[in-house]
């Protein structure tokens, strides 16, 4: 079974990715499980650069195949905000209740509530980097709903459903999930390379 280090400390993201790769010949391990106790900075202005930063840091440390992911919520009426700053929208503490509060406040009075989640996965395989993108279009709800998921899940309603991500099971969310789409792209690439 192939081992892939997932360059994240986010257990919610790890749970999602493990659900996506269940049954495949992959063992996804976290930074902690790999014995790496660092918080990788995300200093860049694009998701692509931040994803690349994370996977390259881990590859340099371990020389092992790894991947990372960076996600942003892009709201049309706010010119793409919070975007790459999604986790720190209301401050460096990364408190999502405050991020959601700020988002809903900034959207007050806007009739256009179109938004999209965009995820970029950076895979480093034998020293070479490959990137994959996943997008989920939807709208921002008027108020938080549901108690599942994490991040902006309580206010994001994907196209094709009437519920927020936070009102869905993980399996239901993964039908629409931007992260799943990006990971699917990575898995398809690995399959074509006969690594899957």
85 in Cβ contact with 71 (< 8 Å): no
Whether 39 sits among the annotated catalytic residues: the reply is: no
Kindly compute the dihedral angle of the four CA atoms of residues 51, 30, 181, 45, in this order, to the nearest 10 degrees: -20
Query: Of residues 39, 45, 70, 161, which has the active-site annotation?
Result: 70
155 in Cβ contact with 99 (< 8 Å): no
Distances (CA, A) of 161 to 63, 108, 118, 176, 196: 42, 23, 18, 9, 32
Alpha-helical regions (H) of the chain: 11-20, 47-62, 96-107, 170-173, 178-192
Which residues are identified as catalytic?
70
């Amino acid at each position: 079974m192939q081992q892939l280090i997932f360059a994240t400390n986010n257990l919610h993201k790890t749970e999602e990715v493990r659900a996506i790769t269940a049954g495949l010949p992959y063992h996804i391990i976290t930074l902690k499980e790999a014995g790496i106790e660092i918080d990788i900075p995300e200093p860049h202005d694009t998701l692509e650069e931040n994803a690349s930063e994370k996977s390259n840091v881990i590859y340099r440390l371990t020389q092992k195949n790894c991947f990372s992911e960076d996600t942003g919520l892009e709201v049309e009426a706010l010119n793409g905000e919070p975007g790459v700053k999604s986790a720190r929208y209301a401050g460096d503490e990364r408190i999502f209740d405050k991020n959601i509060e700020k988002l809903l406040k900034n959207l007050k009075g806007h009739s256009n509530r179109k938004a999209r989640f965009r995820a970029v996965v950076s895979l480093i395989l034998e020293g070479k980097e490959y990137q994959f993108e996943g997008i989920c279009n939807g709208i921002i709800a008027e108020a938080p709903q549901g108690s599942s998921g994490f991040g902006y899940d309580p206010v994001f309603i994907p196209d094709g459903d009437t519920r927020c991500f936070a009102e869905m099971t993980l399996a239901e969310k993964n039908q629409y999930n931007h992260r799943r789409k990006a990971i699917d792209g990575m898995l398809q690439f690995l399959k074509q390379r006969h690594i899957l």
